Structure 1
Amino acid sequence: MTDSPASPAPLADPHLVFDPVAGDGPKDVVILGSTGSIGTQAIDLVLRNPDRFRVTALSANGGRVDLLAEQARRLGVGTVAVAREDAAPALREALAGQYGTEPLPEILVGPDAAAHVAASDCHTVLNGITGSIGLAPTLAALEAGRTLALANKESLIVGGPLVKALAKPGQIIPVDSEHAALFQALASGTRADVRKLVVTASGGPFRGRTKAELADVTVADALAHPTWAMGPVITVNSATLVNKGLEVIEAHLLYDIPFDRIEVVVHPQSYVHSMVEFTDGSTIAQATPPDMGGPIAIGLGWPERVPDAAPAFDWSKASTWEFFPLDDDAFPSVNLARHVGRLAGTAPAVFNAANEECVEAFLGGALPFNGIMETVIRVVEEHGTPVTGTSLTVSDVLEAETWARARARELTNRTATAEARA
């Protein structure tokens, strides 16, 4: 593998540091999705490292206003944003309870609030929002010239060309455990030295089962992840391995490695988070016990490492690390992701949106487990030729998503009706 001058630069490069606000003192950080799993862990890291980080603004959807108000008070932020307008009164009340007679922070409300704070004056924006609604804040942070610590993989997947058009070299630091692992392993060589990327998957709760054996699994079965504690949508995505398919697309976009040189292997222990194989035969693996503290610290602190950000291995104790090939018949999501990734344009947005609707239907009892991927495949096939190239706009992405969601809902409703009649 050799580079040519015309070859596009990768979005994430550990050898490049984008430093928009260099200077002494703590980095000013904005946290989007602060009441979610990534956000709460990031805040814990910040509170343990006040000499390194200072949070200036928070955003959340609005489902946990008491926690959001408590976070704002503990961190002393200047701005709090909430997406749900109906959550604003409860947020003001919760903030008043936290601040008492002290002045309240600025409160922003509405679907554009997260994008507004993403463009505010800071060094780094951590996008920990779940779902494709994170696209607008991602674009806002990049356009404003902030370093983007990206945990919201969906915004890159659905808006890949839009993100690539805005991002400057070194501006994006990945926060997904797999992509943070690749990011660190890639620091061991040059881009021309890379033979392939190896993305690890735990295999989820159904590792080793055939497609037929997956037909009758329940929601409770799917939510019982063996190694990671995550939200319900991401946990189901891990059970179907859609999450791994999305990560393959993300790895392609971040590191500009062709899909045929991005491999997925099953690693049940979730100790090795991903690997890079180099042209000399060497493989560099990044490993820690399953914990998001390390990837979050890389996203916020790079190129510096944050001491004790995550637990380390006790090498005095024996352990076994296993690796298995992926069963593409039982879990067709990864190959489907490669297909839509090659199609590019609006195709990944259709894939992601259809999957989100199908997961919601599964969680609500309207769709069997195998029906998730069967429905997603059908929606992708019906989408036809995606909008691609430089003509792609945010409106194109949103229109494709809207169609995919509507079609997925229609198909899942038909499935639920047919099963009820049976």
Structure 2
Amino acid sequence: MTDAARSTRPRRVVLLGSTGSIGTQALDLVRRNPDRFAVTGLSAGANLELVARQAALLRVPVVAVAVDDEQALATAIARAADEAGTAAYDPELLTGPDASTALAAREADVVLNGITGAIGLAPTLAALEAGTTLALANKESLIIGGPLVRRAAAPGQLVPVDSEHSAIAQCLRGGRAEEVRRLVITASGGPFRGRTRADLQEVTVEQALAHPNFAMGPVITTNSATLVNKGLEVIEAHLLFDVPFERIDVVVHPQQVIHSMVEFTDGSTIAQASPPSMLIPIALGMAWPHRVPGAGPAIDWSQAASWDFEPLDQTAFPAVALAKQVGAAGGTWPAVYNAANEVCVQGFFDGRLRFVDIVDEVARVVEAYAAEPGSRVADVSLADVLEADRWARAAAVEVPTTP
């Protein structure tokens, strides 16, 4: 379809993970911009009541959920439609573990993948294989399936939605690829910024979930506290922008107003700045390469403010260095890092592991993977990635219990 044809109607959006943080904010943008966006499909996990209300409000043609219970979804939608005064609403329903993947393959202008975790990989590949623009908030699918996703994506088909990578994409408009010296990814430092490793020995789950700037899901919030999330973002930046790991740095910026920077060969640095909010990168992801007026808040330059920058303490927070190691190894290694972390975070929630044990045990699993045949696979397939993910989860479950 030509750009001219697209400009005469709203952009058709399939939204995966509609009940999560990314999904709910994306729907807010859609409701505020009906001339720009029309949701043609929604997918969710198990929150049938919320996805039913979302679908009924916008009369979305196709609704998909991971729960394999079409009758329960139909009942929730009928109830939501009655409450919304749209009783005649009767969408197509997709249910089961492959529902999001099937929805991602449908015709659309853009698929926004806001699913959390490794389960987002199959929908990512389905959207790319369908030729749809993919607005990617599910960083795990790129990280664990890097070679697969890069092979499947046509030039310009993959648009980052993570605030840091959206910032880099915006900054890169200011120069040519050969003029880029390095990428600088900012990190809030999480709730434990400035603490030493010794200070982190007795951290509680409640403390780890107290992010200073954002309200996010428990796994992502814990990843922000350990800085595993920043390690994943370094791998993602390498895969998205084809910049070597030695030219990707992380700097702590607690205010999170500057979302990332690009340093150019002449010494100039371009930074993207806006108040901490995901609305701008989500809007850009759905509308790329165009901006959506009023998408998010702007900086109030009439108010005095100070922005701080600090080096990353790699002793207290070794997750970024470990991520660079597995990222450089490539293949299925990032899948092992990601899967082991998800299991170890759950171990922390369950009281099996201390906070400081999370990354230590991920490192142990990564080290053990060197003896596995899958660690030496060069031409990675989806089966290889899924097997590495399975192996790492099993290996991570075997970590010792905290005394």
Would the TM-score normalized by the shorter structure come out above 0.5?
A: yes
| 8 A contact 1:195–1:261 mirrored in 2 | yes
Matches within 5 A, 1:126-145: 126-145=112-131
| 8 A contact 1:204–1:238 mirrored in 2 | yes
Name the SS of the counterpart of 2:170 in structure 1.
helix
Query: Does the C-alpha gap of structure 1 residues 389 and 22 become closer, same or farther in structure 2, counting only changes over 3 Å?
Result: farther
Name the SS of the counterpart of 1:312 in structure 2.
coil
| 8 A contact 2:9–2:35 mirrored in 1 | yes
Please state how far the C-alpha of 1:387 moved relative to its aligned partner: 4.0
Q: Of 36, 58, 61, which residue of structure 1 is paired with 2:42?
A: 58
Please state how far the C-alpha of 1:215 moved relative to its aligned partner: 0.6
| 8 A contact 1:275–1:284 mirrored in 2 | yes
User: Percent identity over the alignment?
Assistant: 62
Matched, 1:346 2:335: no
| 8 A contact 1:264–1:326 mirrored in 2 | yes
Q: Which blocks of at least 5 consecutive residues in structure 2 are unaligned?
A: none
Aligned length: 395
Please state how far the C-alpha of 1:104 moved relative to its aligned partner: 1.6
| 8 A contact 1:19–1:123 mirrored in 2 | no
Q: Of 12, 19, 23, which residue of structure 2 is paired with 1:35?
A: 19
1:308 alignment partner in structure 2 = 294
Misfit runs of 4+, over 3 Å: 18-23
Counterpart residue type for residue 99 of structure 1: A
Matched, 1:402 2:390: yes
CA distance in 2: counterparts of 1:105 and 1:380, whole angstroms: 45
Matched, 1:286 2:286: no
CA distance in 1: counterparts of 2:224 and 2:306, whole angstroms: 22
1:47 alignment partner in structure 2 = 31
CA distance in 2: counterparts of 1:231 and 1:50, whole angstroms: 28
| 8 A contact 1:33–1:58 mirrored in 2 | yes
CA distances 1:235-292 after superposition (whole Å, capped 9, x unpaired): 0000000000000000000000000000000000000000000011110000000000
Please state how far the C-alpha of 1:366 moved relative to its aligned partner: 1.5
CA distance in 2: counterparts of 1:210 and 1:90, whole angstroms: 49
Q: Which blocks of at least 5 consecutive residues in structure 1 are unaligned?
A: 1-17
Matched, 1:83 2:70: no
Q: Of 217, 220, 234, which residue of structure 1 is paired with 2:220?
A: 234
Of structures 1 and 2, the one scoring higher in RCO (CA 8 A, sep 6+) is 1
Q: Of 104, 120, 132, which residue of structure 2 is paired with 1:118?
A: 104
1:266 alignment partner in structure 2 = 252
CA distance in 2: counterparts of 1:203 and 1:99, whole angstroms: 44
1:97 alignment partner in structure 2 = 79
CA distances 1:109-154 after superposition (whole Å, capped 9, x unpaired): 1111101111101100000000010000000000000000000000
Query: Does the C-alpha gap of structure 1 residues 20 and 380 become closer, same or farther in structure 2, counting only changes over 3 Å?
Result: farther
CA distance in 1: counterparts of 2:140 and 2:67, whole angstroms: 20
1:166 alignment partner in structure 2 = 152
Counterpart residue type for residue 20 of structure 2: G
Using structure 2 for the length normalisation, give the TM-score.
0.96
Please state how far the C-alpha of 1:65 moved relative to its aligned partner: 1.0
Please state how far the C-alpha of 1:99 moved relative to its aligned partner: 2.5
Please state how far the C-alpha of 1:103 moved relative to its aligned partner: 4.2
| 8 A contact 2:9–2:36 mirrored in 1 | yes
Counterpart residue type for residue 48 of structure 1: R
CA distance in 1: counterparts of 2:287 and 2:355, whole angstroms: 39
CA distance in 2: counterparts of 1:248 and 1:21, whole angstroms: 37
Using structure 1 for the length normalisation, give the TM-score.
0.92
| 8 A contact 1:30–1:125 mirrored in 2 | yes
| 8 A contact 2:235–2:324 mirrored in 1 | yes
CA distance in 2: counterparts of 1:307 and 1:210, whole angstroms: 43
